[in-house]
Amino acid sequence: MPAAALFDVDGTLLDTSYLHTLAWSEALAQFGLTPPMSRVHGAIGMAGTELLEHVLGPGRDRDLDSDISAAHQALYARFWPGLRAFDRAGELLREVAARGRRVVLASSASGRDLEAMRRVLDAEDVLWAATNADDVETSKPAPDLVHAALERSEAGPGEALFVGDTRWDVQAAAAAGVPCIGVTCGGIGECDLRAAGALEVHADPAALLAALDDSALGRA
């Protein structure tokens, strides 16, 4: 039975993937950059620098990175009052904790955004720890954030499972030696998650909770 359950937040526990897509697209447009929104959505789950690298490529004007990221932060903050958790997301965390796992949030969001999401998630009583993009130099798909979450959970890779909604989550977890369970509620399909290496895939937190006894997350 895994000692730690590491959870991504955006698109996994909270319905925010498309809000981030819109905020990043608007931020890029402020600087005359108009990549397809589908490409932006495909990069959600990465932190700012990694996302811009994926969306715009290495030939971009890197001097704009901090300004675009700041614009995204300001634009995304508009959505804070309307943020919502997926159905039964908090209940899932509580049940996983009740089964003896140390529940750790491992988000590539900024610390400021994560604080806003934690208020909406309303599961502080069962959280062992949390990490965010401000805690590491390189975010997903690099494994740094997963390593940080493991360290805070005081668990080894073989004692943990990761739950995420993007292939970046799956790749980051795999690079840290941690199996990943995928959810499709962030907008990435089951085929893509399985192709990235997801151990199993569920529709959303409610579906994972319903299947917990048969899931790797719930099996001894």
At 96-137, the pLDDT tens digits run: 999 999 999 999 888 889 999 999 998 999 999 999 988 888
Inform me whether the pLDDT recorded for 2 exceeds 80.
no
Burial 122-156 (b: 16+ CB within 10 A, else e): ebeeebbbbbbbebbeebbbbbbbbbbbbebbebe
185 and 152 together in one domain = yes
73 and 95 together in one domain = no
Quick one: pLDDT at residue 173? 97
Inform me whether the pLDDT recorded for 220 exceeds 80.
no
Q: Using a cut of 0.75, tell me whether the model's pTM lies above it.
A: yes
Using pLDDT thresholds of 50, 70 and 90, give the confidence band for residue 141.
confident
54 and 102 together in one domain = no
Average pLDDT over residues 56-72: 92
Quick one: pLDDT at residue 219? 78
Average pLDDT over residues 2-16: 94
Average pLDDT over residues 203-217: 97
197 and 122 together in one domain = yes
CATH number at residue 176: 3.40.50.1000
Cα distance between residue 9 and residue 2, in whole Å: 19
Q: Which residues contact 3 (CB under 8 A, 6 or more apart)?
A: 100, 101, 102, 153, 154, 155, 159, 160
8 and 43 together in one domain = no
CATH number at residue 58: 1.10.150
Inform me whether the pLDDT recorded for 79 exceeds 60.
yes
Using pLDDT thresholds of 50, 70 and 90, give the confidence band for residue 58.
confident
- The count of domains in the chain is 2
Quick one: pLDDT at residue 51? 92
- 219 inside domain: no
Instruction: Give 190-202 pLDDT, tens digit per residue.
Output: 999 999 999 999 9
